[in-house]
């Protein structure tokens, strides 16, 4: 009786609500797996709230942690954590679709709707092929990253086993923008090794720039029979790529200038370049760091909070409001100020619905972040900048911290878990949970002007 009632209840859920249910189930499974004694090192007892926090952080590919991963989890636990990161990075429904295809299950209309909701797509067309392409591209990137890092790490670690294990976890953590590390000190061990930094920056960018962009780039590079000459990148790919790298390079310049007489004083030009560039890339959603970010100035902490709030590109492993959302809002402001009626980019007009989504996402994200910051500041003794940094890091699924995560109360950890979850699935997906699927009536009420501003 209970099973039939549950099935009927599930069948009444919308695709977005089902996706949330699947993510909730994934959190329960991830928490249960990481709570197993075999996942911990001998003598380590991890409180339930810290196990749950780690599971949510891994599934949302954030990287915030209340414990030191290398000192808490065993080799088995670290492998489990890598699997959870992979699940969160490509999306629960993408992995589920892959499993369905392996066992020969037909991907029906309902499954396609779930994939579309999980991957933030607007069309059924080619949705299954998209999932195949995402998994193929990500696995190839991670494999190459693993081989390069693992081989290079032979000079850093005493055994080949340890070197390749570090390369294995590091490649997955960077590509999925997970932000976890098993060195015990993020990438501070490699603060003078620009090759390791460069490889990690590439992996973070691949994970944060958006899967459709990677797939279109692959199709362009491997086009046959002269088709590359007629290949046309989509508007999404053009806008995403442009805004992503504008944020990366302008962010690096600003980070450098804000601490040119502080943290960067007395350092060589190449140290300043790689410190600032890596920090700008990792605030997209990476969470790895080559420096102690608490040593930067408060203005830099505030600026990095803005970068983390913006986050990565849509349909990527990253969180935040997304780069294209911020770009559309800024362009809309200038367009409206100039009295223009529509937004035009690369000889294309942007749909009004997309613009409305961008404004909605930005406003709702501001409400979430400001509310969380105020609530946590009431119950915690830390500075407002520290709390804001932690909140935006959670919402942007970045994982950078000023060192207060482990000292937060259970209540504050729950607030951050909520933000990490929302940052991963997206504001629009979250809002669609409450959408009324009933068709509105064909009648309209009289319209009346309201004074604005």
pLDDT digits (tens, 9 = 90+) for 304-359: 999 999 999 988 888 899 998 998 898 888 888 887 767 777 778 877 788 888 89
pLDDT for the residue numbered 7:
60
- The pLDDT-based confidence of 120 (bands split at 50, 70, 90) is low
With respect to residue 94, please indicate whether it lies within any of the assigned structural domains: yes
For residue 317, give the nearest of 173, 136, 140 by alpha carbon: 173
| Other Cβ atoms closer than 10 A to 257 | 14
What does the alpha-carbon distance between residue 369 and residue 253 come to, in Å, rounded to a whole number? 26
Is the pLDDT confidence value at 47 over 70? Answer: yes
With respect to residue 451, please indicate whether it lies within any of the assigned structural domains: no
Residue whose structure tokens are 């392409």:
133
pLDDT for the residue numbered 426:
82
Is the pLDDT confidence value at 445 over 80? Answer: no
For residue 209, give the nearest of 240, 181, 234 by alpha carbon: 240
Give the contacts of 383 (CB within 8 A, at least 6 positions apart).
Answer: none
pLDDT for the residue numbered 110:
56
Model pLDDT for residues 178-208, shown as the tens digit of each residue: 999 999 889 999 999 999 999 999 999 999 9
With respect to residue 449, please indicate whether it lies within any of the assigned structural domains: no
pLDDT for the residue numbered 229:
62
pLDDT for the residue numbered 95:
63
With respect to residue 64, please indicate whether it lies within any of the assigned structural domains: yes
Is the pLDDT confidence value at 80 over 80? Answer: yes
With respect to residue 145, please indicate whether it lies within any of the assigned structural domains: yes
With respect to residue 452, please indicate whether it lies within any of the assigned structural domains: no
CB-count exposure of residue 121 (10 Å: 0-12, 13-18, 19+): middle
pLDDT for the residue numbered 145:
97
pLDDT for the residue numbered 407:
93
With respect to residue 113, please indicate whether it lies within any of the assigned structural domains: yes
CA gyration radius, the chain: 22
Report the pLDDT averaged over residues 105-109: 58
What does the alpha-carbon distance between residue 432 and residue 16 come to, in Å, rounded to a whole number? 7
With respect to residue 287, please indicate whether it lies within any of the assigned structural domains: yes
**Number of domains making up the chain:** 1
106: containing domain = 9-222+234-432
Is the pLDDT confidence value at 389 over 90? Answer: yes
Beta bridge partners of 348: 345
Q: What is the mean pLDDT of the chain?
A: 86
CA angle 140, 144, 148 (to 5 degrees): 170
């Amino acid at each position: 009786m209970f099973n039939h009632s549950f099935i009927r209840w599930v069948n009444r859920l919308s695709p977005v609500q089902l996706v949330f249910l699947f993510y909730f189930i994934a959190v329960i499974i991830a928490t249960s797996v990481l709570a197993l004694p075999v996942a911990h090192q001998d003598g380590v007892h991890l409180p339930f709230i810290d196990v749950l926090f780690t599971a949510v952080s891994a599934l949302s590919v954030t990287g915030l942690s209340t414990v030191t991963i290398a000192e808490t989890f065993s080799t088995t636990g670290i492998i489990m954590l890598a699997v959870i990161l992979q699940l969160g990075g490509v999306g629960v429904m993408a992995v589920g679709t892959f499993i369905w295809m392996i066992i020969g299950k037909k991907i029906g209309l309902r499954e396609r709707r779930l994939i579309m909701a999980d991957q933030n797509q607007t069309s059924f067309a080619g949705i299954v092929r998209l999932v195949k392409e995402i998994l193929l591209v990500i696995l190839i990137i991670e494999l190459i990253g693993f081989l390069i890092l693992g081989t290079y790490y032979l000079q850093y670690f005493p055994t080949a086993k340890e070197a390749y294990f570090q390369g294995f976890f590091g490649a997955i953590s960077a590509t999925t923008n997970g932000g976890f590390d098993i060195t015990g000190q993020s990438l501070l061990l490699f603060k003078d090794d620009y090759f390791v930094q460069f490889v990690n920056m590439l992996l973070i960018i691949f994970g944060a720039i958006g899967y459709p962009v990677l797939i279109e780039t692959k199709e362009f590079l491997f086009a046959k029979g002269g088709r590359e000459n007629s290949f046309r990148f989509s508007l999404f790919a053009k806008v995403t790529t442009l805004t992503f790298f504008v944020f990366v390079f302008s962010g690096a310049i600003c980070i450098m200038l804000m601490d040119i007489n502080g943290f960067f004083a007395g350092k060589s030009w190449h140290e300043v370049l790689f410190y600032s560039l890596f920090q700008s890339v990792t605030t997209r959603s990476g969470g790895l760091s080559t420096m102690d970010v608490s040593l930067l100035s408060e203005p830099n902490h505030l600026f990095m909070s803005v970068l983390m709030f913006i986050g990565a590109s849509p349909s990527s492993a990253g969180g935040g409001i997304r780069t294209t959302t911020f770009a559309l809002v800024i362009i809309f402001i200038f367009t409206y100020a100039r009295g223009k009626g529509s937004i035009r980019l690369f000889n294309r007009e942007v749909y009004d619905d997309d613009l409305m989504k961008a404004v909605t996402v930005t406003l709702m994200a501001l409400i979430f972040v400001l509310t969380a910051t105020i609530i946590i500041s009431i119950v915690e003794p830390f500075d407002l900048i520290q709390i804001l940094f932690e909140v935006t890091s959670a919402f942007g699924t970045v994982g950078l911290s000023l060192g207060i995560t482990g000292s937060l109360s259970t209540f504050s950890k729950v607030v951050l878990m909520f933000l990490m979850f929302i940052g991963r699935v997206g504001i629009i997906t979250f809002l669609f949970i409450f959408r009324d699927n009933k068709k509105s009536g064909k009648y309209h009420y009289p319209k009346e002007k309201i004074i604005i501003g």
